[in-house]
């Protein structure tokens, strides 16, 4: 009950603040000037707030419970990605004055067709990233209220679409910054209180040593909402709907819908597709198993390290930095802030092995953060802690989904619509109406996909978005900013090659039923192949052009420090005459 109030409070509080804040911002004389007053600390908290999604809040701990400590590499990569962004992209991109990826490729490479391609990839990444947020919302609302999965997906999808359509929340740096601290509070306080309550991690043998996750001293009673195929790691006595059964070690059994009871201390069976792991294996960060092999870990690190810079909803936020230097200093602070957050999810995955082993039976490991507090600390305290994490989780879905939907809707209304309708929007009112329609349409596909993706881990879904970004936009940025010879043709073929290899591998992996092994690792996490292919294609095709493109003006805009009188408006070759479309305005993106 407390949890429902907390979730409703976060949801409507955020919406209210956003709408109220937007009014307030509109009354100031110059919205852009106002945004320039935002300090790097506020900006950094806002970027971090937008970035910490369902994957960070629920997914990392869920994957950790399921696969082991190796899942924590993902959190390492999520932070390291900002280092790549800092070293190669942040300052030049801010100086260039482009704040969407299609804007950047059009201005830097002078090609409208490349802009269309980049827009398509923005939509692809946006949808891949939005689906896990909605999945998170579906399972979370289920945990909090007992509602069916689709209800949460539909409600959060609808709320976010309305919110973005009305222009609320997104633009308000302070709301996003507040959301960041809410999320840190929501993940840290329950984790610390549990560790203090138990005076460290209880159940050492289950977490780190020789034991499988097992039923407690009173046995384990759960209700299965659907038939579930499971494998018993050890011989076990159990009853299903009152009928006593025996399972031999290693047996795969289909459990019927209904009440399952496991005798005290019985090792829990695990949903097929997952390995039952003893603590000694579970707690190894890298070893010879499935998604813990060195190849998989390195490929994952590469995808997250290089993929962060290609996330559309994050780049837009960098525009609120006044100049390139501030963009650098904001990014440094983001790295520090994310480091605080990612210290905590690990606690939930570890304690989950002791207190919520039933999630391994049902496969609902993504809910471990939400269920753990009450399972570990029955009573009012546990309920209150559960309410805190639920509120933090909803803050995560709302902020990230809103940012993503703004990018998707902006791309749909600004790039896709005019190219289909063959006319540019004329008035502000027309553009706003189109943006609202696009926000609605842009939410329908992710909602549909989220219904289908209930069984796929949040962290895995988000991982795909990172792979695609790393295989397309990362090479475009790195070469476009630092290499004068990149051509539009080279960038186009490189992005196509990278996107094709990355998505092809992921879908092949799904089609083959996640085969595992070295080949399976490369299919499930193809960055280590797709990123080099994208780079090689871009460089190779560009060099074949023979002539050296004249890009002095672009390089000046990208790299000349501020304060020399090379104002970006004079030097950014924007628009280039090749494009008759109006540039996407800050108000289209809901920026303050």
Residues that bind other proteins (CB under 8 A): 69, 72-73, 76, 79-80, 82-84, 86-88, 91, 200-201, 204, 208, 280, 283-287, 294, 297-298, 301, 324-325, 328-329, 331-332, 335-336, 338-340, 342-343, 346, 482, 552-553, 555-556, 559-561, 563-566
Q: Is-contact 532 494, C-beta < 8 A?
A: no
- In the complex with other proteins, the residue whose CB is nearer, 21 or 59, is 59
- In the complex with other proteins, the residue whose CB is nearer, 88 or 451, is 88
How far is Cα 59 from Cα 367, in angstroms, rounded to an integer?
8
Q: Which residues contact 181 (CB under 8 A, 6 or more apart)?
A: 45, 49
- In the complex with other proteins, the residue whose CB is nearer, 433 or 559, is 559
At closest approach, how far in Å is the CB of 204 from other proteins?
A: 6
At closest approach, how far in Å is the CB of 156 from other proteins?
A: 30
- In the complex with other proteins, the residue whose CB is nearer, 25 or 332, is 332
At closest approach, how far in Å is the CB of 344 from other proteins?
A: 9
At closest approach, how far in Å is the CB of 335 from other proteins?
A: 5
Q: Is-contact 554 494, C-beta < 8 A?
A: no
Q: Which residues contact 567 (CB under 8 A, 6 or more apart)?
A: none
- In the complex with other proteins, the residue whose CB is nearer, 383 or 562, is 562
Rg (CA), the chain: 24
Task: Kindly tell me the sign of the dihedral angle through the C-alpha atoms of 72, 75, 77, 80.
Answer: negative
- In the complex with other proteins, the residue whose CB is nearer, 78 or 473, is 78
How far is Cα 56 from Cα 43, in angstroms, rounded to an integer?
20
What distances in angstroms separate CA 152 from CA 61, 119, 131, 145, 247, one per listed residue?
21, 29, 13, 10, 36
- In the complex with other proteins, the residue whose CB is nearer, 405 or 481, is 481
At closest approach, how far in Å is the CB of 124 from other proteins?
A: 27
At closest approach, how far in Å is the CB of 50 from other proteins?
A: 19
DSSP code per residue over 240-304: ETTEEEEE-TT-EEEEPSEEEEE-TTPBPPEETTS----HHHHT-SS-SSGGGSHHHHHHHHHHH
The residue ranges of DSSP E strands in 192-251, in sequence order, are: 220-224, 228-231, 236-240, 243-247
In terms of Cα–Cα distance, which of 342, 344, 360 is closest to 352?
360
Helix 72-88 / helix 60-67 crossing angle, nearest 10 deg = 140
At closest approach, how far in Å is the CB of 260 from other proteins?
A: 32
In terms of Cα–Cα distance, which of 213, 360, 208, 211 is closest to 273?
360
How far is Cα 370 from Cα 152, in angstroms, rounded to an integer?
15
How far is Cα 186 from Cα 179, in angstroms, rounded to an integer?
10
At closest approach, how far in Å is the CB of 359 from other proteins?
A: 21
- In the complex with other proteins, the residue whose CB is nearer, 419 or 484, is 484
At closest approach, how far in Å is the CB of 254 from other proteins?
A: 35
- In the complex with other proteins, the residue whose CB is nearer, 317 or 329, is 329
How far is Cα 236 from Cα 247, in angstroms, rounded to an integer?
5
């Amino acid at each position: 009950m407390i949890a429902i109030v907390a979730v409703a409070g976060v949801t409507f509080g955020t919406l209210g603040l956003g709408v109220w804040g937007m009014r307030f911002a509109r009354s100031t004389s110059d919205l852009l000037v106002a945004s320039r007053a935002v300090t790097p600390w506020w900006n950094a908290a806002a970027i971090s707030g937008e970035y910490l999604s369902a994957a960070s809040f629920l997914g990392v701990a869920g994957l950790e419970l399921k696969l082991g400590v190796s899942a924590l590499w993902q959190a390492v990569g999520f932070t390291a990605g900002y280092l790549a962004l800092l070293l190669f992209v942040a300052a030049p991109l801010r100086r260039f004055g482009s704040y969407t990826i299609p804007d950047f490729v059009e201005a830097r490479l002078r090609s409208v067709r490349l802009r269309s391609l980049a827009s398509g990839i923005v939509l692809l990444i946006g949808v891949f990233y939005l689906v896990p947020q909605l999945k998170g919302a579906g399972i979370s609302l289920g945990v909090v209220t007992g509602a069916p999965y689709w209800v949460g997906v539909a409600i959060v999808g609808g709320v976010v679409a309305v919110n973005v359509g009305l222009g609320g929340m997104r633009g308000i740096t302070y709301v996003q910054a507040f959301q960041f601290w809410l999320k840190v509070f929501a993940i840290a306080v329950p984790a610390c209180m549990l560790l203090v309550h138990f005076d460290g991690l209880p159940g050492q043998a289950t977490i780190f040593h020789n034991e499988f996750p097992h039923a407690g001293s009173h046995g384990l009673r759960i209700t299965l909402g659907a038939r579930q195929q499971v494998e018993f790691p050890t011989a076990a006595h159990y009853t299903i709907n009152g009928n006593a059964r025996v399972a031999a070690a290693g047996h795969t059994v289909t459990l019927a819908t209904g009440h399952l009871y496991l005798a005290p201390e019985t090792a829990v069976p695990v949903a097929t597709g997952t390995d039952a792991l003893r603590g000694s294996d579970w707690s190894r960060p890298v070893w010879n198993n499935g998604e813990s092999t060195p190849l998989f870990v390195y490929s994952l690190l590469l995808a997250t390290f290089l993929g962060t810079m290609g996330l559309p909803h994050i780049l837009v936020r960098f525009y609120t930095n006044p100049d390139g230097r501030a963009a650098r200093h904001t990014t440094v602070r983001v790295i520090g802030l994310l480091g605080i957050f990612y210290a905590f999810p690990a606690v939930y995955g570890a304690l989950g092995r002791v207190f919520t082993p039933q999630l391994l039976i049902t496969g609902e490991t993504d809910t471990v953060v939400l269920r753990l507090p009450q399972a570990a600390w029955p009573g009012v305290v546990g309920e209150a802690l559960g309410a805190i994490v639920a509120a933090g989780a909803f803050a995560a879905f709302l902020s990230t989904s809103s940012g993503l939907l703004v990018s998707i809707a902006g791309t749909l209304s600004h790039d896709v619509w005019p190219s289909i309708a063959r006319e540019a929007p004329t008035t502000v009112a027309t553009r706003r109406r189109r943006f609202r329609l696009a926000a609605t349409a842009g939410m329908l596909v992710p909602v549909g996909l989220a219904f289908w993706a209930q069984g796929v881990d949040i962290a895995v879904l988000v991982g795909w978005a990172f792979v695609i970004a790393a295989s397309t936009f990362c090479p475009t940025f790195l070469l476009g900013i630092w290499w004068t010879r990149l051509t539009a043709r080279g960038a186009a073929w490189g992005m196509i090659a990278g996107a094709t290899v990355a998505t092809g591998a992921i879908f092949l992996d799904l089609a083959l039923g996640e085969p595992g092994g070295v080949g399976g690792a490369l299919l499930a996490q193809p960055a280590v192949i797709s990123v080099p292919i994208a780079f090689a294609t871009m460089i190779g095709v560009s060099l074949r052009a023979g002539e050296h493109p004249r890009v002095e003006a672009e390089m000046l805009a990208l790299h000349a420090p501020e304060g020399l009188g090379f104002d970006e408006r004079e030097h950014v070759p924007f628009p280039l005459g090749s494009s008759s479309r109006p540039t996407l305005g800050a108000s289209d993106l809901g920026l303050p």
